[in-house]
A and B are shown apart, each in its own frame.
Chain A
C-alpha cells in the first residue's frame, strides 16, 4: 500500500469527524437493488439524470458565448458554430442530449407505469416524476426557440397558438408566454429566462425530492417479485455493482451522443424573419408531434365545439388522469396486477408511436 490510500483515508477521517459520513456510508453499503425480469428498466431513471447533467454542463458552456436577443441570438450561435473551437460539438451534444433525455424520460415513465411502481407508498414519486417530465418538455420547448431561426420561430408561434386556444386561461397564458400578442424578441428574452434560470431551479428542487424519495423508500418491486418469499428474492448491492453497471450504460449513452453529434450535426438554419410567411410543413419537435398530428386530424368542428379545443381538452384531461394514476389504480393499491390498465397503457404507447410516425411521414 502506497501513499495515496493513506491520504484518502486521512481526508475521510477528517470529514467524518465533522459530518459523520460513516452513517451515510453504512446506509450506502446496505442499499440493494432487486434483480428480476424487469430490473433492466431501473437504469432509465439514471440515464435520464445523466443526460440532464450533460444538458446542464453543455448548457453552461453554451452560455459563455450565446447572447440572447433578436439581433444577437442567431449571430452568436453562428459564431459558436464557426469560430469557437469545438463549438459545433458542444451545440450538437446539447441538442442531441436534449432529445435523448426526453426519450429516456418517456421510457422511464412508461416502464414505471407498466411495473406499477406508483403503488403505495410511492405515489409522490410518480407525481413529482410527472411534473419533472412536464418541466423537461418545457425545457425542450423554451430551448428550441433560442437559436432564433425560421423553424424555431414558427414552431414557437404554432405551439403558443395552441396554448392560446385553451378556454378562459388560454389567452392570458399566451400573452404571458410570448411577452405580448406576437412572438417577438420579447418572447426570446422570456424563453431564455425560463430556460436557464426558472426551469433549472424548479427542476433541481423537484429532482432532489424525487431522488430523495427513491433513496428513502428504496426501489419499487413489481407485484410478482414482491409476492416472493425473501429467500427467493435476488438482489444486488447498489455499491459498487449497480453503480458500475450504471456507469457503463452512461458511458455507452455518452458515446452514442458523440457519434450522433459528429454524423448528424444540428445545423443553423435561416435567421427568423418576423414578416416572412411560414415555411410549408412546419412541425414541432418529435415529442410534441403526436399531439400536433392528432389535432390536425380532428375535424374543424365536432358538435358545438371547435375541433382544436376538443383536442386540447381531451389531452389535458388525459394528462390529468395520467398524473393521478396512483389513486385510480385500485387493484394496484392492493398490490395486484391490473390487466385493464396494462392494456390501456399499451394502447397509449401504440397511439403515441403511430401518431409520431404519421406526423413525420405526412
Chain B
C-alpha cells in the first residue's frame, strides 16, 4: 500500500509539474521581467505585435532552454537545449532553422517564401559573413530580433518607406563603410534624387527603395550588364529601347553601367534637354566627338527635341496670357496636355538613338503645339473683340454724356 501511495504521489507531483509547464508557464518571461532594464527589454518587445509572439512563439522557441524550470541554471542549461544569444555569424542559420524549411513554415503561412537564406548566401552580406567578416548585416540587423513586424505592417523596419533608413544604419556609417571600401552617402544621395523624394516625401510606394534595385535578401549591386534589366521593372520603354539600341553593346564593351552611366544610381535627378546634343558635361559629347556618326545623331536628336520643347513653352506662355485676360482656356489646356505627352514620348524615344523614330514623335508633338498656339491666338483675338466692343460702348456712352451735358448747359442758360 505504501508503495502504491508513494508512486501515486510522484505521479501527481510530476503530473502537476508537467501541467504547470504545459499550462503556459514561462519562467524566461517571469525572471527577465523581474530583472528589469536591459534584461526585460526583449520581453517588452515581444509583447508588441511581434510576428513570432502573435503565433504563440516565446523565448524558448528560438533560444531553447526550459521555460518550465524556475531555477535559472535549469532553465538556461545547455542540456535542455539552451542556445543563448546567437553570435552575428550564427544568426542566418539560427533564423533559417525554421524560415528555410518549407514544411515548418507551411504550418504558419502557406504563401511565405523560404528562399531567404539561400539568397542571403549569394548576397554581399552573406559572402562577407562566410569569409569570416561579421561586421555585415544579418537577419536581425534589418528585421530586428524581438519586435519583428511583418513586412506588410507600416511599423516594420522593412516597410517600403522605412527601408532606406534601415539600410542607412550601416551604409551611412563612414567608419564601417570605409572598411569595405564603400561610400557612406548613398542614403543622402538617394533622398536628393527623384526616387527618394517620391518615396520619402510623397510616400509614393510605387517608387523604389534600396531593395527594389539591389534585392533584399540577395542584396548586391546589379552587374553593369544587368542595370537596364533592373530599371526595366518600371521603366519598360526606356530600358527596352536602350537594349535594342547600339548603346547596349557599346556600353557593355566599355563596362559602363548602362542607365547609371547617364542617370546616376542613387542621386537620380530629372533629366533635361542639356543632356542631349554634343555639348555639356552630361551630354552625348562625353563619348562622341566631332566626325563620328553618333555626334551627328546626337545633334539631330537635340535639334528635334529642342524645337518641340520651345514650341511647347511658347504655347504654355501664350495660353497663360490668354487666361490672364479672362478668356476661358479649357479646350486649349487639353491640347497643351497632348503636347506635353508628345514631349515626354520624344524624350523617351531618344533611348533608341534612332533619329527617325525621334523625328516621328517630335513632329507629332510639334503639330499639337501648333494647334494649341492657334487656339491661344484665337483666345487673344477674342480679347481684342471684347476690347473693341468696350470701345464702341464707351464711344456711345461718351456721346450720350456729352449730349446730356450740353443739354444741361442749354437749360441752365449759359
Contact = CB atoms under 8 A, between A and B. Distances in A.
B259 to A, nearest CB: 37
Interface in A31-89: 78, 81-82, 88-89
A241 B411 contact: yes
A255 B393 contact: yes
A209 interface: no
B412 A241 contact: yes
Nearest to B383: A262
A267 interface: yes
Contact of A258 (B323, B325, B390, B405): B390
A241 B326 contact: no
B408 interface: yes
A267 B411 contact: no
Given A92-B326, A251-B400, A244 B407 contact: yes
B387 interface: yes
Interface string B372-414: 0000000000000011011001100110110011011001100
A175 interface: no
Interface string A226-265: 0000000000000011001101100110110011001011
A255 B394 contact: yes
B81 interface: no
A245 B393 CA distance: 20
Contacts of B389: 262
A259 B390 contact: yes
A244 B394 contact: no
A258 B396 CA distance: 13
Given A254-B397, A255-B397, A259-B394, A88 B404 contact: no
Interface in A249-285: 251-252, 254-255, 258-259, 262, 264-268
Given A81-B328, A88-B326, A92-B326, A252 B412 contact: no
B397 A82 contact: no
Given A240-B411, A241-B408, A259-B394, A248 B401 contact: yes
A92 B325 CA distance: 12
B386 A262 contact: yes
Contacts of A258: 390, 393-394
Contacts of B394: 255, 258-259
Contacts of B326: 88, 92, 264-267
A81 B330 CA distance: 11
A68 to B, nearest CB: 21
Nearest to B397: A255
A248 B393 contact: no
Contacts, number: 51
Contacts of B323: 267
A81 B329 CA distance: 11
A251 B401 contact: yes
A244 B401 contact: no
Given A251-B397, A258-B393, A258-B394, A245 B386 contact: no
Contacts of A255: 393-394, 397-398
A82 B328 contact: yes
A53 B401 CA distance: 20
A124 to B, nearest CB: 33
Contact of A248 (B330, B387, B404, B411): B404
A82 to B, nearest CB: 4
A99 to B, nearest CB: 16
A258 B222 CA distance: 68
Contacts of B412: 241
Contacts of B398: 255
A268 B327 CA distance: 11
Contacts of A268: 328
A248 B405 contact: yes
Given A251-B401, A255-B393, A255-B394, A265 B325 contact: yes
Given A258-B394, A259-B390, A244 B328 contact: no
B326 to A, nearest CB: 3
Contacts of A247: 404
B403 to A, nearest CB: 10
B387 A262 contact: yes
Nearest to B330: A82
Contacts of B404: 244, 247-248, 251
Interface string B296-333: 00000000000000000000000000010110101000
Interface in A262-313: 262, 264-268
A262 B412 CA distance: 37
B388 to A, nearest CB: 10
B332 to A, nearest CB: 11
Given A81-B328, A262-B386, A267-B326, A244 B397 contact: no
A245 B401 contact: no
Contacts of A254: 397
Given A251-B400, A254-B397, A258-B394, A245 B330 contact: no
A245 B390 contact: no
Contacts of A266: 326
12 contacts: A78-B330, A82-B328, A88-B326, A92-B326, A244-B408, A244-B411, A248-B404, A251-B400, A252-B397, A255-B394, A258-B390, A258-B393
Given A88-B328, A248-B405, A252-B397, 19 more contacts: A78-B328, A78-B330, A88-B326, A89-B386, A240-B408, A240-B411, A241-B411, A241-B412, A244-B407, A245-B408, A248-B404, A251-B400, A254-B397, A255-B393, A258-B393, A258-B394, A262-B390, A265-B326, A267-B326
Q: Which 5 A-B pairs have the closest CB atoms?
A: A265-B326, A82-B328, A262-B390, A255-B397, A244-B408
